[in-house]
Amino acid sequence: MMSHQLGQPPDGPAAERPRPYPRHAAPHTPLRPMWCCRACGQPWPCPMARLLLRSEYEDNPISLSIYLCGLLYEATRDLYRLNPAGAPSPTDMFTRFVAWGPHRRPIVEPGGGC
Ligand SMILES: [Zn+2]
């Protein structure tokens, strides 16, 4: 018998960035499944994690966008499993994980061509 259900999507990227800075400090990486920062306790990505990620991916902003989208997926899955009734909205999750990242389309395209 053939099933028409799609399989479970594979896991997203490992949440191991940004690297610790300074080198021996606690890393500003997410503590799962709550997705708070393991160094400072704020919702991840905390301001320091954002700063370090921007620096770490300065030469490869596309990789940062892909990484953030993967973690958005992982965090959404964790937080909905943890608290299905009280999980953040998709808009809030997108704003928290992706919207601050490097690739945002300007409201008006530069040059204003047609
Ligand atoms: Zn932090």
10-residue block means of pLDDT along the chain (114 residues)?
71 90 94 96 97 95 94 95 93 95 70 56
In this structure, which amino acid lies at residue 81?
A: R
How many Å lie between the centroid of ligand 1 and the Cα of residue 45? 7
Q: What is the pLDDT of residue 109?
A: 67
Q: Is 33 helix (H, G, I), strand (E, B) or coil?
A: coil
Q: What is the pLDDT of residue 110?
A: 64
Q: What is the pLDDT of residue 105?
A: 64
Q: Please check whether residue 91 lies inside any domain of the structure.
A: yes
How many Å lie between the centroid of ligand 1 and the Cα of residue 49? 6
Q: Please check whether residue 84 lies inside any domain of the structure.
A: yes
Cα gap 96→52, rounded to integer Å? 16
Taken in order 10, 12, 15, 16, is the CA torsion positive or negative?
Answer: positive
* Tokens found for residue 103: 């690739």
Cα gap 23→5, rounded to integer Å? 46
Q: What is the pLDDT of residue 111?
A: 66
How many domains does the chain contain in total?
A: 1
Number of residues in the chain: 114
Q: What is the pLDDT of residue 10?
A: 81
Q: What is the domain extent for residue 74?
A: 30-99
* Tokens found for residue 18: 């940004």
Q: Please check whether residue 106 lies inside any domain of the structure.
A: no
Q: Is 30 helix (H, G, I), strand (E, B) or coil?
A: strand
How many Å lie between the centroid of ligand 1 and the Cα of residue 26? 9
How many Å lie between the centroid of ligand 1 and the Cα of residue 24? 15
CA distances from 95 to 23, 77, 106 (A): 29, 16, 16
Q: Please check whether residue 88 lies inside any domain of the structure.
A: yes
Q: What is the pLDDT of residue 7?
A: 82
Tell me which H or E stretch contains 50.
Answer: helix 47-56
**Residues measured by CB to lie within 5 Å of ligand 1, the ion:** 28, 37, 39-40, 46, 48
Q: Please check whether residue 20 lies inside any domain of the structure.
A: no
Q: Please check whether residue 111 lies inside any domain of the structure.
A: no
